[in-house]
């Protein structure tokens, strides 16, 4: 709705400057805005952004965090169907790219056991 109300246009960002930005700032990742997500935007638009990192206290038991990881990663297909913004979710990338905090032992256990890391 905001795109329509403001007559905004999505602009593709890519090239050497973006490559350097991504190389020097591991919390940024290359991504895309899916075509059709916004009106007037039928094609994918290359961009960059930050990923969401689920953060937990180290005092949360590893088994609990493991179960949360399983609930998310074992149901990625369902998440992808919920909203076009989730369509590009990929387990391996989620387990390694753009993380803004150290992984909890429970998350690491899940990643190792499932081969994501």
CA distance 47 to 44: 9
Residues 106 and 64 grouped into a single domain: yes
- The tens digit of pLDDT for each residue in 49-104 reads 888 888 999 999 999 999 999 999 999 999 999 987 788 889 998 898 878 889 99
One domain for residues 31 and 85: no
Cβ atoms of 10 and 41 within 8 Å: the answer is yes
Cβ–Cβ under 8 Å, residues 53 and 103? no
Which residues have a Cβ under 8 Å from the Cβ of 107 and sit 6 or more positions away?
65, 66, 69
Residue 116: which pLDDT band, with cuts at 50, 70 and 90? very high
pLDDT at 65: 97
Q: What pLDDT, on the 0 to 100 scale, is given for residue 67? A: 98
CA 41 centroid distance within chain: 21
Mean pLDDT (the chain, rounded): 90
Q: Both 61 and 45 in a single domain?
A: no
Structural domain span for residue 40: 1-50
User: 33 or 69: whose pLDDT is higher?
Assistant: 69
Asked if residue 101 and residue 45 are part of one domain, the reply reads no
27: Cβ contacts below 8 Å, ≥ 6 apart: 50, 51, 98, 99, 100
Task: Count up the domains in the chain and report the number.
Answer: 2
Same domain, 67 and 91: yes
């Amino acid at each position: 709705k905001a795109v329509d109300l403001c007559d905004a246009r999505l602009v593709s960002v890519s090239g050497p400057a973006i490559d350097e930005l991504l190389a020097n700032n591991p919390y940024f990742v290359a991504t895309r805005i899916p075509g059709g997500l916004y009106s007037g935007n039928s094609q994918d638009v290359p961009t960059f952004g930050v990923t969401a990192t689920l953060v937990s206290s180290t005092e949360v038991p590893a088994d609990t965090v493991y179960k949360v990881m399983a609930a998310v990663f074992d149901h990625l297909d369902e998440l992808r169907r919920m909203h076009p913004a989730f369509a590009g979710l990929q387990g391996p990338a989620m387990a390694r790219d753009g993380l803004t905090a150290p992984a909890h032992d429970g998350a690491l256990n899940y990643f190792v056991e499932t081969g994501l890391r």
